[in-house]
Amino acid sequence: MVKQIDSGYFGSYAGFHIHEDMLKDRVRTEAYRDFIEGNGDLFKDKVVMDVGCGTGILSLFAARAGAKHVVAIDNSGIIERAKEIAEENGLSSKITFIRGKAEMIEELSASFDKVDVIISEWMGYCLLFESMLPSVLFVRDRWLKPITGRVYPDISSLHILGMSAPEYRKSRVDFWKKDVYGFSMESIAKRVHLEPGVDHMQGYKVITDSNKFFEIDCNKVKPEQLDFESPFELHAKPDGEDVTTLDAFVTYFDIGFIKDAKKPIQFTTSPTSTETHWRQTVLILEEPIALHKGDVITGTIQLKANRESFRDLDIRLTYKIGPNGLEKTQAFCIN
């Protein structure tokens, strides 16, 4: 089963379209470029490992920034194109490409057995979807130089906020409740809220503050800490209204390249900022809830890898409004 899951996962990255989407995401790609090339002292004459290299863009940035050598790892067929790209740009002697799962790499080079820097674009929807970070952590513990070695990006955080989005609910849920080309599809309407949306929610109304509920330091975090449950608290702030409807909770993440950087770089996937290919994860409530100015929402949010398909992400949300509110729980799965 695991082999089948991974075969499909790595196969999905063999085509060009998914890489085109990522490269066209200027927030993402320029953040990596600006960090690597703006902090050349962290890369110059260093051995760098690029985990999940894809087209090799991060490896190319590192080589251009003066890296002594780059080890680029990917288990997808796209790595064959990455080799050609490196050759096209006169950098094939600076980059060694290894096709395989990061956990299965047995040796690097006769000239070095540890790396100075690990760089990876491992983030998925809701940050942890696809479970790529554990591979980065495995490589960190196996191949990174102790004490002086660094993983980038190093800091990431997850955030949650409340939104009033009746139009979004109508497009996602109510669509199935009406006549669909002459057929009833109410059975799907009852289940739509089990599947989080992945959409850019700019334009919908943010009606609470934002709460950071989880933070990761990639130089320190342990794999078992990536399955977690965290409390959150949100304060209602309907803009100019005494009451509005809470239709969904929305999560997003922030990324930072901070440790030892002379020019730290950060970016956000917030719904109030420039759209990225990750967009936001939308947790639609079973029913809209009236939210009054000054209301306080408390709850917990749990994220963990799905037991049957570990690259899928299970989300469990428990919340209530006010100290005496009725506690509600919803379960979701990103797959």
As annotated, the active-site residues are: 121, 130
Burial 302-316 (b: 16+ CB within 10 A, else e): ebebeeebbbbbbbe
**Amino acid, res. 47:** V
Q: In the sheet that 150-152 helps form, which strands lie side by side, from edge to edge?
A: 95-99, 69-74, 47-51, 117-120, 150-152
Which of 17, 18, 237, 226 shows the shortest CA–CA distance to 126? Answer: 226
Q: Where are the beta strands (DSSP E) in 76-201?
A: 95-99, 117-120, 150-152, 155-164, 197-199
Q: Which two tokens stand for residue 237?
A: 């702030």
Instruction: Tell me how crowded residue 175 is: count the other CB atoms within 10 A of its CB.
Output: 14
Angstrom distance (rounded) from CA 230 to CA 303: 9
In this structure, what token pair is assigned to residue 27?
Answer: 């927030």
CB count in 10 Å sphere of residue 21: 11
DSSP 59-80: HHHHHHTT-SEEEEEESSTHHH
Dihedral sign computed on CA atoms, order 103, 108, 114, 120: negative
Tell me the C-alpha distance between 11 and 167, whole Å.
36
Distance CA 288, CA 245 (A): 6
